[in-house]
Amino acid sequence: MLTYAIRRVLAFVPTIFITLTLIFVVTRLVPGSPVWALIGNQSVDAARMEEITRQLGLDRPILEQYLEWLPRVVTGDFGQSIFFGRPVAEIILERMPITFALTLLAMIVTIAVGIPLGILAAIRRGGFLDYIGNIFSSLGMALPSFWLGFMLILIFAVELQWLPASGYRPLEFGFWPWLSRMILPVIALSLAQIGLIARMTRSTMIEVLGMDYVTMARAKGLREHVVILKHALKNAMIQIITVIGLTFALGLGGSVIIENVFALPGLGQLITTAAIRRDYPTLEGGIFYLTLVALVTNLIVDLAYAYFNPRVRYGK
């Protein structure tokens, strides 16, 4: 198990290199220049503009910029934000916990609701619960999350006034002020994922419940919940876990939209505004950290996969 983990971590190195290169290339492919964003509405002459360009190092050949950029970035130093005038790492560190809490909470809700829903649907196939679950998951997957976000705001914040409509309070202001502003974004983000996980769990469980070892478990006189949760679910998890990893990555992408809908000052919002301002260092740093989170999640998924599936651990 340990050697397996080490191998997985080593496989990270090329992935990160490729990710960084892609980030560099793509941000620079976007038309426009940070200089325009910086000067905004002021009228400046061409000489001043050239000066700013030189200051930012944008006048040098692109390959030279890349070769200077890559070794620096690998150490986590994305430089100064063009717009904020502060180190990118510092800004990201402020924003990261918000995005992380949002996606993690959404993930927990997704697993806690999606998997039991899928199991129940599989056990009572064709029953009432299966039917309801089916409608629920189809709806969840079909509705765009930003629309869902606005609807939730309309219902729970504007009409019922149960929860605040948007904004963010750090945990230092207390648990409830923090949580109350997270509930709606988390629901909006997790609903589509719940549908996905529930469906996956249902079909995998139906498949696994038909296996000989499940019949055998019943024939051994085990209680039904042991048969379902220990014998069937542990095998079904092998497939479900893959989808969970995928869902998490989707959630990270979704958080970019959700953070804007709910005015949460997270990484997603930072990336959107940095893209509009062509704030290259911030944009690169933001995307990189988001990618890093996705990669780490994938690693955790892989390790969990090995836990549920002993056959993987002994691979070459």
Residues of this chain that bind other proteins (CB under 8 A): 210-213, 215-224, 226, 230-231, 234-235, 238, 308-311
- Cβ 301 to other proteins shortest distance, Å: 17
Question: Which tokens sit at 207?
Answer: 């498949």
Q: Closer to other proteins by CB, 54 or 220: give it.
A: 220
Kindly state the smallest distance separating residue 196's Cβ from other proteins, in Å.
Answer: 23
Question: How many whole angstroms separate alpha carbon 315 and alpha carbon 306?
Answer: 10
Give phi and psi for 184, each to the nearest 5: -65, -45
Nearer to other proteins, 7 or 125 (CB): 125
Asked whether 81 and 282 are in contact (CB, 8 A), the reply is yes
- Please count the other Cβ atoms lying within 10 Å of the Cβ belonging to residue 254: 25
Tell me if 278 sits within 8 A of 58, measured CB to CB: no
Q: How far is the CB of 305 from other proteins (least distance, A)?
A: 11
Torsion over CA of 224, 226, 231 and 233, rounded to 10 degrees?
90
CB nearer to other proteins: pick between 231 and 278: 231
Closest to other proteins by CB, 242 vs 309, is 309
In the complex, least distance from residue 135 CB atom to other proteins, rounded to whole angstroms: 24
The nearer residue to other proteins, 143 or 222, going by C-beta atoms, is 222
Helix, strand, coil % (nearest 5) of the chain?
80, 0, 20
Closest distance of CB 219 from other proteins, Å: 5
For 85, counting Cβ atoms within 10 Å of its Cβ (0-12 exposed, 13-18 middle, 19+ buried), the class is exposed
